[in-house]
Amino acid sequence: MKNQTKNLILKNAAVLFYSSAINHVTLDDIASKSGISKKTIYKYFENKEDLVIKTIRKQAKILKKNISRIQQKGHNALEELMHFITYINKKMHRVYPMVKNEIKKGPANSFFNAINYSDTIILQFIVDNIENGKQQGLYKEQIDAQAFCESYDVLSKSIYFNYYFTDLNVKKKSFEFVSSLFLYGLVTQLGLDYLQLTL
């Protein structure tokens, strides 16, 4: 029961933090959404900062699990990457643009560490995927996996974490466009043939 309540708080905190401005979400909001008292939150978390950090860490664990599922489901590196891009687009589509900026402005370095952990998981998956794709003959041998991945990361974040750019459908289509450029820039003729069969 204890773990169940803690997980419920973390789940509802994630929904509220990622869908609106973190600074505008109160512990009362989280308690109300969870059907518990604010006092109950303090049984599991020291304060709001502690809850934000633990929520981000929990989301990072979920991300890691989902990446593992994607890797098991994919028949090759390209299929894995396509599933991953779809997953990330759905996930990021629900994130309020200012979330990342608010986390960076947080009062403790632990905010940075928590969010950077998620970034590290994503970047490492893509770098490993590119190396696997090269070995499978699906990706160009001359691609610098790290540089390619960092460029994609910067472009993706500029779409999703840009608060001037608010139309979610435009963001979704922009991310799909950037992702298709990324994929087409990555693949060999064999990879291109596979892409044309699956898209």
Q: What's the CATH number where 140 sits?
A: 1.10.357.10
Look at 26-35, 113-122, 130-139 and tell me which has the smallest mean pLDDT.
113-122
- Determine the average pLDDT of the residues in 160-180: 76
Q: Which residue has the higher pLDDT, 43 or 105?
A: 43
- pLDDT category at 108 given cuts 50, 70, 90 is very low
Helices 27-34 and 2-19, axial angle in degrees (round to 10): 120
> Helix or strand or coil: residue 187?
strand
Q: Which residue has the higher pLDDT, 150 or 20?
A: 150
Q: Percent of the chain having pLDDT more than 70? A: 81
Q: Percent of the chain having pLDDT more than 90? A: 45
pLDDT recorded at residue 10 = 94
Look at 75-79, 175-179, 190-194 and tell me which has the smallest mean pLDDT.
175-179
| Contact residues for 135 (Cβ-Cβ < 8 A; gap 6+) | none
175 domain-assigned? yes
- Token output for 126: 């893509």
Q: Which residue has the higher pLDDT, 127 or 95?
A: 127
pLDDT recorded at residue 165 = 62
119 domain-assigned? yes
Of 131, 147, 140, which is closest to residue 185 (Cα–Cα)? 140
Give pairs for 146-149: CB < 8 Å, separation 24+.
148/182, 148/185, 148/186, 149/123
Total domains present in the chain: 1
88 domain-assigned? yes
38 domain-assigned? no
147 domain-assigned? yes
Location of structure tokens 């303090």: 42
What are the Cα distances from residue 63, in Å, to 5, 67, 141, 165? 21, 6, 28, 25
Dihedral sign (CA 34, 35, 40, 46)? positive
168 domain-assigned? yes
- Determine the average pLDDT of the residues in 162-180: 77
**Distance of alpha carbon 120 from alpha carbon 107, whole angstroms:** 22
pLDDT(12) > 90? yes
The predicted model scores a pTM of 0.79
- Determine the average pLDDT of the residues in 95-102: 52
In angstroms and rounded to an integer, the radius of gyration of the C-alpha atoms of the chain is 19
Range of the domain at 185: 60-198
pLDDT recorded at residue 107 = 46
82 domain-assigned? yes
- pLDDT category at 191 given cuts 50, 70, 90 is very high
pLDDT(93) > 70? no
- pLDDT category at 117 given cuts 50, 70, 90 is low
123 domain-assigned? yes
29 close to 16: Cβ distance less than 8 angstroms: yes
pLDDT recorded at residue 46 = 95
- pLDDT category at 114 given cuts 50, 70, 90 is low
